[in-house]
Homo-oligomer: A and B are copies of this chain.
Amino acid sequence: MKILVVNPNTTASMTAKIDVCARNAASPGTEIIARNPPSGPVSIEGHYDEAISTPGLLDEIRRGEAEGMDGFVIACFDDPAIGACRELATGPVLGICEAAMRAASMISTSFSVVTTLPRSIPIIEDLALRYGLERRCRRVRAVDLPVLALEDDPEARNRVLSEVRAAVAKDRCEAVILGCAGMADLTDWLSLEAGVPVIDGVVAGVRLVEALVGAGLKTSKIGAYATPRKKQSG
């Protein structure tokens, strides 16, 4: 089984980190291909960044589809352009926010999310609503660090841990979701320190896409995710 993991931003070091996480997460028989588009924003922090990352992301999906990828993971917690990706793909497509939230819902009755910037909070709340998980999502919290600081800032991991602990103590949630692909390498440490299941979307995404492919399920093509109609572009 071949799964394409697309990091929709253009920061190759983040793609490399995601690649490691995805490979570690994958089953023995699964081949992980991690890529980022050649052009686009270096990080995705809000609707605008998400929008301008979309053309590059869709090119990667189209290319992956042509190469016969069995499934797709979009490794950005805003789940950018997920509907468009599903229109292009035959196999299952999961964003890491949806993957993490659905995984959390199967092992707990509630979760909180710890993300990077406060401006992402309403975006993630909106996704929870669309996935039907607004009642399970106790709160979305932000460490107030930009995405790329997670690459550089040695203090960043402590701020993430401190927010994970606050989620458990104050939100009374039963699981914590890491709301940024750049936090993936902290998962085990955080879970151990905080004594609660901590869920990374890349891991959840790879495993859930494997599950759907393994179950013989493909994206439904009779409604919202039908193949795009052929048309001229002006």
Contact = CB atoms under 8 A, between A and B. Distances in A.
Tallying the copies of this chain within the complex gives 6
Contact of A132 (B45, B81, B103, B135): B135
A154 interface: no
Query: How large, as a class, is the contact surface on chain A?
Result: 35 or more
A204 B215 contact: yes
Contacts of A35: none
Given A103-B212, A196-B220, A224-B174, A40 B87 contact: no
Contact of A46 (B87, B107, B214): B87
Contact of A102 (B102, B134, B136, B233): B102
A48 B122 CA distance: 24
Interface string A22-44: 00010111000000111111110
A121 to B, nearest CB: 7
A223 B88 contact: no
A174 B86 CA distance: 13
Interface of A: 9-11, 25, 27-29, 36-43, 45-52, 54-55, 58, 81, 83-84, 86-88, 92, 94, 98, 102-103, 105-110, 118-119, 121-123, 125-126, 129-136, 146, 168, 172-175, 188, 195-197, 199, 203-204, 207-208, 210-212, 214-220, 222-226, 228-229, 231-234
